[in-house]
Amino acid sequence: MKPLRSLIANGAVWMLLFKFVERSLGFASTLILVRLLVPADFGLVAMGTSLLVMLEYFAGFGMDLALIRHPAPERRHYDTAWTLNVALAVLIAVLMMLAAYPLAIFYRQPQLTPIVLALSAAALAQGLENIGTVQFRKELNFPREFRFQITKKIVAFSITVPVALLFHTYWALVSGLIAGRFAALLLSYLWHPYRPRFSMEARSELLGFSKWLALSNALHVMRERVSDLVIGRLAGPGPLGLYSLGYEVANLPTSELVLPINRATIPGYSLLTGDVARLRAGFLNVIGMIALLVIPAGLGIAATALPATQVLLGKAWLGAVPLIEILAFYGIVTALQANCFPIYIATGRPDLQTRLNALYLVVLIPSMILLTQAYGLPGAAISSVATALLMLPINFTLVLRSVQGSWKQVAAIVWRPLTAATIMAVCVRSWLGVTDGEAPTWVQLRTLIAAILLGAIIYAAMLLLLWWLSGRPGGAERFVAERLRGMLRSIRGGLARGMRP
């Protein structure tokens, strides 16, 4: 059997590959949709999906994580988890149907009623999924997890884009989401032999661990969706559409790099429970890799926000540029903290995440309301960044205490990527400052590509220099360097074998 570190690394690669393919589909879909739909369409659907996501998180007891963390789950555990998921899905669907009309009144958008009624079917479909697919992650079988996750995304893409092309309506977004959920339901039974039965036999064991996850999930989704409520109510669907897209773009480092890594580290960390030294080493290694990837990605997004928006989204979305520039820092700070949650799960302290999410909301909600009223959408973005910065030292202090680590160890890992990425962002922004913002689209595309290449070269060169000056310490840089050397040796060996007579 492969060493645990290799299994986690392999899983992270598969999940990153999934995110890459998923984001490629999402990117292609977004490029099409932003030219067929208007910001108000995105804002309107965000209002409806916010209710769906909030109810699912409020009712979600994290059964998958409870099964993953359980050392030896039996059939009764899986059956109980599935039964609870079904019951909660029915409850969510009913609540959505009851809330459809009042929500339309709250937002002053009558189109919301049929949207929310349609989305209730998506909630029901997710709850009926085969719980057996959790074994893909528990057994670190990430190739099968990749195939399952990516196929449902392809189905959603295949529905969303044609509907948008034919009808130019927000129903394209709704129909794609529903199609993806029903595809996952069908595939879960086709691709896994487990057949769940109704049972509540293991409810006390599962709920004992999951009660904190349920509350944490509820508070977390309020964190993520409070902007939909505040901006949707105060400014309407158009501004909410701009903010939602700006948030999605700025949060790419977290959604595309960190979350797939965490999907692999949660089961890996759970196997290290009780071994503090290995858990600490694993945490620091993952933080190093996150810093290596996320900091330059986030600062690069901020530096190239204007040309990227002009080229990829069009002039109708230029209002999102200042939001992307601000929220890019939110993406970085959030990404650095995202690996704390798997540690709380591995150490059996999900209550810490729950309390931190509650504190987060206590700060975020009033600050976002006040700053949105005073400064509009940029005020909402600033409140998100400020709250995330406040939570960072609290989160890391608790985690480092759990794994018996120190701030010095974290600083030794993060300072090189941070310094190199900052130099890169300043250089790219300075270079873009002298470009012509009114140039034709093909010229702006050429400029954007050049800026990305320039940033990549500067970042890689500065990072390599700082690592060399630091004595080439172990960590993410050495891990990447060793993998690159291995790839080069394989390529040279393949070429040599190919040239033999």
- pLDDT digit string, tens, across residues 183-231: 999 999 998 999 999 999 888 777 765 666 667 777 777 888 889 889 9
Helix (H) or strand (E) holding 129: none
DSSP letters, 175-228, are HHHHHHHHHHHHHHHHS---------TTHHHHHHHHHHHHHHHHHHHHHHHHHH
Is the confidence at residue 413, as pLDDT, over 70? yes
Is the confidence at residue 10, as pLDDT, over 60? no
- pLDDT of 146 reads 75
- pLDDT of 379 reads 95
Output 372 or 19, whichever has higher pLDDT.
Answer: 372
Neighbours of 471 (CB within 10 A): 6
- pLDDT of 499 reads 53
On the CB side of 64, CA atoms within 13 Å amount to 18
Q: Which of 109, 137, 130, 116 is nearest to 51 (CA)?
A: 116
Which whole number is the average pLDDT over 460-472? 92
Which whole number is the average pLDDT over 15-29? 65
Is the confidence at residue 15, as pLDDT, over 60? no
376 burial class (0-12, 13-18, 19+ CB within 10 angstroms)? Answer: middle
Q: How far apart are CA 141 and CA 143, in angstroms?
A: 6
> pLDDT class for 83, splitting at 50, 70, 90?
very high
- pLDDT of 216 reads 72
Is the confidence at residue 256, as pLDDT, over 70? no
Query: Would you say 285 and 362 are in contact if contact means Cβ atoms under 8 Å apart?
Result: no
Long-range contact pairs involving 185-188 (C-beta distance under 8 Å, separation at least 24): 185/125, 185/126, 185/128, 185/129, 187/148, 187/151, 187/152, 188/129, 188/130, 188/132, 188/133, 188/148
- pLDDT digit string, tens, across residues 44-78: 998 989 888 878 766 555 677 678 777 778 899 89
- pLDDT of 479 reads 75
The helices-and-strands tally (H runs, E runs) of the chain is: 21, 0
Query: Domain limits of the chain?
Result: 4-480
Sign of the alpha-carbon torsion through 193, 196, 202, 206:
positive
On the CB side of 93, CA atoms within 13 Å amount to 17
- pLDDT digit string, tens, across residues 109-141: 999 999 999 999 999 998 899 998 888 777 666
- pLDDT digit string, tens, across residues 135-193: 877 766 667 777 887 888 889 889 999 999 999 899 999 999 999 999 999 999 998 99
Neighbours of 6 (CB within 10 A): 10
- pLDDT digit string, tens, across residues 355-383: 898 899 999 999 999 999 999 999 999 99
Q: What percent of the chain has pLDDT over 70?
A: 83
Q: How far apart are CA 249 and CA 236, in angstroms?
A: 20
DSSP 320: G
- pLDDT of 493 reads 61
Output 61 or 267, whichever has higher pLDDT.
Answer: 267
- pLDDT digit string, tens, across residues 321-347: 999 999 999 989 998 898 888 888 778
Q: How far apart are CA 365 and CA 226, in angstroms?
A: 7
Is the confidence at residue 304, as pLDDT, over 80? yes
Structure token digits, residue 165: 């092309």
- pLDDT of 204 reads 77
Is the confidence at residue 32, as pLDDT, over 90? no
